[in-house]
Amino acid sequence: MTTHVRIVGAGLIGTSLGIALSGKGFRVSLDDPSPTAVRLARDLRAGEIAAADTDAPDVVVVAAPPDVAADVVVAALERWPDAVVTDVASVKESVLHSVLDSGVDPSRYVGSHPMAGRERSGTAAARADLFEGRAWVIVPHETSTQAAVAALREIALAVGSLVLVMPAHEHDEAVAAVSHVPQLAASIVAACLRDLPESAVGLAGPGLRDVTRIAASDPRLWTQILAGNAPAVRAVMRLVRDQVDDVVNALDALVDADGAGALGTLSRVLEAGNLGRARIPGKHGAPPAAYEVVSVVVPDEPGALARLLGDVGEAGINLEDLHLEHGLGQAVGVAELSVVPASVEPLHTELARLGWRVHD
């Protein structure tokens, strides 16, 4: 039997999911308060427009904005008495509590959080491959049935996600630290640039660009996310505040007094950062790999980078990562090629032989 998935909410996530599931042979029906959105989603091959209430789905995926997700979940549980219902909001505990408080039988509800998104939102931004290779967190609660969890897992695997299962509070605490607080930190650092003189922002380098990249995110969406996860975000922000206070006090001691203990404090914060950074897994969910970087000078002209990577490919060497570092005010860049340590020597030799300026 073909599984029938009803998607409520034809934005970026809902439409992308519809396209991906339709491509895998699922039957998808689409529901959205906006007739325009749902028609565009259909035209993008995300599924058919949802029909009468008699056309019961096996699974309902609520891809509505976070602040209405719980109400839509409860309505779906009531409307489809046999369907598994999930939502995709990026904060899980508040949705779960609302569902439990509603009085509806919650056993067919399982929360989920596909860790996928884009800097753009809306139906038109949908991508069939949005979930490929991303984590999809399934968040069962005490009375969730095994069948409900299994149905969600089938959907997540069908769209190419890696399934992780954890309780709601654990999920919310995790994303507070790995996503919500980093967002706030990036915004706060970027905000300090707002009133700088032009000559000062001219000194910006790649470090600042990396730290502040996500500061360009949508404030409206992020306000909802942060408010929805306030307790967990607060706990981590308090850790941030304590460290910021320690640093400011150390700087005070250096400026206004004899600086006793200040260097130790600064050093401890920086060392703790080393340790925390080392815990972030590498690509493909693997533990942080000891890749090595080979730097190659690349003229900033059409085809130069392609020629370099063509040479890398012909040498039979797999790039683990690639970072382009552009110079300031001149037509040359540095391509940093990350490879496994065993590839450094052959890569260097081969590229140098072909005339590239190589450093490792």
Footprint (CB under 8 A) of a second copy, residues 63-122? 115
- Partners of 116 in the beta sheet? none
> Which tokens sit at 159?
């769209």
Q: To the nearest whole angstrom, how small is the minimum distance from the Cβ of residue 178 to a second copy? A: 5
Q: To the nearest whole angstrom, how small is the minimum distance from the Cβ of residue 68 to a second copy? A: 16
Say how many C-beta atoms besides its own lie within 10 A of residue 165's C-beta: 16
Identity of the residue, 79 or 127, whose beta carbon is nearer to a second copy in the bound complex: 127
Handedness of CA 220, 135, 129, 66 (dihedral sign): negative
User: Which among 235, 266, 271 has a CA at the least distance from the CA of 250?
Assistant: 266
Contacts of 267 (CB under 8 A, 6+ apart): none
Which residues in the 264-303 window bind a second copy by CB under 8 A? Answer: 266-267, 269-281, 283-285, 295, 297, 300-303
Which residues in the 172-231 window bind a second copy by CB under 8 A? Answer: 173-175, 177-179, 181-194, 196-197, 199-205, 207-217, 219-220, 222-223, 226-227, 230-231
Identity of the residue, 35 or 133, whose beta carbon is nearer to a second copy in the bound complex: 133
Cα–Cα distance measured from residue 319 to residue 220, given in angstroms and rounded to the nearest whole number: 37
Q: Which of 98, 307, 344, 354 is close enough to bind a second copy by CB under 8 A?
A: 307
Identity of the residue, 83 or 168, whose beta carbon is nearer to a second copy in the bound complex: 168
Handedness of CA 18, 20, 21, 24 (dihedral sign): positive
Identity of the residue, 104 or 269, whose beta carbon is nearer to a second copy in the bound complex: 269
Amino acid sitting at position 324: L
Cα–Cα distance measured from residue 311 to residue 350, given in angstroms and rounded to the nearest whole number: 8
Say how many C-beta atoms besides its own lie within 10 A of residue 59's C-beta: 24
Q: Is 167 helix (H, G, I), strand (E, B) or coil?
A: coil
Q: Which of 78, 245, 260, 352 is close enough to bind a second copy by CB under 8 A?
A: 245
Q: Which of 33, 35, 122, 133 is close enough to bind a second copy by CB under 8 A?
A: 133
Q: Which of 56, 334, 344, 354 is close enough to bind a second copy by CB under 8 A?
A: 334
Cα–Cα distance measured from residue 102 to residue 98, given in angstroms and rounded to the nearest whole number: 6
Identity of the residue, 38 or 181, whose beta carbon is nearer to a second copy in the bound complex: 181
Identity of the residue, 78 or 271, whose beta carbon is nearer to a second copy in the bound complex: 271
* Size of residue set near a second copy by CB under 8 A: 135
Stretch of 41-49, 74-82, 329-337, 347-355 contacting a second copy, by CB under 8 A:
329-337
Q: Is 121 helix (H, G, I), strand (E, B) or coil?
A: coil
